[in-house]
Amino acid sequence: MKKVLAMLMVIAMVASVAALAGCGNSSETTTDAEKTYIIYSDNAFAPFEYLDTDTNAYVGVDMDLMAAIAEDQGIKYEMHNEGFDASMGAVQSGQADAMIAGMTITDERKETFDFSDAYFDDGQVIVAKAGTTMDDLKGKTVAAKTSTVGGEYAESIKDEYGFTINYYEGSDNMYQAVSTGADVACVEDFSVIGYAIKTGEVDLAIISEEPANVKGYGFAVQKGQNAELIEKFNAGLKSIKASGKYDEILAKYGY
């Protein structure tokens, strides 16, 4: 009788352990399925991300693309529009899972970030008050944005044109510096400044020739992390291109 009771107790213990293990697996699966990704972005880079003062919400190409891809792939996320430099720092430190901020894919950045497929191509141009020429940059200061490809491009041509560089955190700060005469010109992505000029946000002109250093924008995560999020973004991007949603979003902002 004692042997039977002992055996029954062992069976009960095994069953309890199995049940707990089963509950643990179920919880992990639920947690993964309900994960909310923290995504950072710029806060003044129209038409890709900018504050709509009527709704007090951030809108733009990147905002709409992220929303469409998330809906297509069942991605839950929180968007934080904190600025470009802050976004890169948040991803690098693990504070954010990813960023989408008109971020150009470069070999140097690939050492720190893993990128999605390119979702938009753009290049840099020189912008100044109408009537300014590239020769007028000599001996003057040119505005560029911190931690951007535009800044790298400015560094690559400053000796050729004889100017020095002032760095700013946002595009709006650069435009103001040029408009007030603090800097003679600024370096900006062609599509971004083209949109600002077209909408009358700035009274400036593109003084360089064709956009230089044309590359793709990418959705980025910390290197070696969140590979599944990159896969979902790529799958969603492919899907919304096939459905026509991608073209619809670009057309909304004049592309």
> Given this model, what pLDDT does residue 62 score?
98
Give me the amino acid identity at 201. Answer: E
**CA proximity to 147, closest of 167, 166, 175:** 167
- The residue among 147, 54, 159 whose CA lies nearest residue 108 is 147
The confidence score (pLDDT) of residue 166 equals 98
Domains of the chain (ranges; CATH) run 36-119+218-252 (3.40.190.10), 122-215 (3.40.190.10)
pLDDT score at 197 = 95
Structure tokens belonging to residue 20: 């707990």
Phi, psi of 219 (to 5 degrees): -80, 130
pLDDT in tens, the chain (255 residues): 444 334 434 334 434 433 434 444 333 444 556 799 999 999 999 999 999 999 999 999 999 999 999 999 999 999 999 999 999 999 999 999 999 999 999 999 999 999 999 999 999 999 999 999 999 999 999 999 998 999 999 999 999 999 999 999 989 999 999 999 999 999 999 999 999 999 999 999 999 989 999 999 999 999 999 999 999 999 999 999 999 999 999 999 999
Residue 35 Cα distances to 30, 39, 219, angstroms = 9, 12, 18
Cβ atoms of residues 80 and 97 within 8 Å: no
Extract the tokens encoding 226: 């969140």
H/E/C letters for each residue in 57-92? EEECHHHHHHHHHHHHHCCEEEEEECCHHHHHHHHH
How crowded is residue 9: how many other Cβ atoms within 10 Å of its Cβ?
10
pLDDT of residue 34: 77
Per the DSSP assignment, residues forming a β-bridge with 99 are 40, 220
Provide the b/e sequence for 214-245 (b: ≥16 CB within 10 Å): eebbbbbbbeeebeebbebbbebbeebeeeeb
Beta strands 57-59 and 49-52: pairing type?
Answer: antiparallel
The kind and range of the H/E element at 9 are helix 2-33
In this predicted structure, what is the pLDDT of residue 33?
63
Instruction: Report helix, strand or coil for 72.
Output: helix
Q: Cα(163)–Cα(75) distance, rounded to whole angstroms?
A: 46
R_g over Cα of the chain: 25
pLDDT at 56: 95
- Cα 90 from chain centroid? 12
The residues that bridge with 188 in the sheet, in sequence order, are 125
d(CA 150, CA 192): 12
Q: What is the pLDDT of residue 31?
A: 52
**CA–CA dist 187, 106 (Å, integer):** 18
Q: What is the pLDDT of residue 15?
A: 42
Q: Smallest Cα–Cα separation from 178: which of 195, 166, 169?
A: 166
